Amino acid sequence: MSGRKDKLFKDYLHDPYFIKEKYSEPSVCERCGVVFADGIFTWVKSIPKDFPKMICPACKRIEDRFEGGIVLLSGKFLNGHKEEIINIVKNVEAYKIEKRPLERIMSIVENDSKIEIKTTYEHLARRIGEAINSAFKGELKISYPDGEKYVRVGWFRDE
């Protein structure tokens, strides 16, 4: 295993959604098409038809609404900037999903002065918070109330 693969594999070792399923290798997710092979989840251009089917941990989490991270954006600054902010959120996801296929946005809920984003894993939530903070400077708080597996990201800016 190469160093990168080894790290990616370790990142998901403590994922209950990874452990409880025994994925055969290779296999392909029947929902999103991600392939599990050599111990990692990866995108491949053409999937052989005889690959066994499975449902990957990301699609299962989405189905169960079992998020790995939550981002709560708040403050008056959101008024008038929501579109820009949502664009950043989606760009971060698009960038991440290439290298970490299981990192996905599960939901984006907007109301008056708040935006709530749930992600399948903690890395993506943290990256979203950092990207928004570096673009717009506010107050960023990152906490892990339940160990490394779950992150709460808060970002606030009033003006």
Neighbours of 49 (CB within 10 A): 6
**74 vs 111: CA distance, rounded Å:** 10
Which is closer to Zn ion, CB of 31 or CB of 123? 31
Q: Which region, judged by CB under 5 A, interacts with Zn ion, from 22-30, 77-85, 133-141, 147-155?
A: 22-30
CB closer to Zn ion out of 32 and 47? 32
Relative to beta strand 139-143, strand 35-37 is: unpaired
Q: Is 42 in the site for Zn ion (CB under 5 A)?
A: no
CB of 58 to Zn ion, least distance (A): 5
Q: Is 59 in the site for Zn ion (CB under 5 A)?
A: yes
Angle between the 82-99 and 122-136 helix axes, to the nearest 10 degrees?
A: 140
- How far, CA to CA in Å, does 147 sit from each of 60, 122, 151? 21, 11, 8
Nearer to Zn ion among residue 6 and residue 30 (C-beta): 30
**Count, residues in the chain:** 159
**Contact positions with Zn ion (CB under 5 A) in 64-123:** none
Site residue total, Zn ion (CB under 5 A):
5
Query: Which is it for strands 151-156 and 139-143: parallel, antiparallel or unpaired?
Result: antiparallel
Residue 11 or 73: the one with the smaller Cβ distance to Zn ion is 11
- Closest approach of Cβ 29 to Zn ion, in Å? 3
Nearest 5°: the CA angle 108, 102, 82 is 20
- How many whole angstroms separate alpha carbon 6 and alpha carbon 24? 18
32 binds Zn ion (CB under 5 A): yes
Residue 56 is a binding residue for Zn ion (CB under 5 A): yes
Binding site for Zn ion (CB under 5 A): 29, 31-32, 56, 59
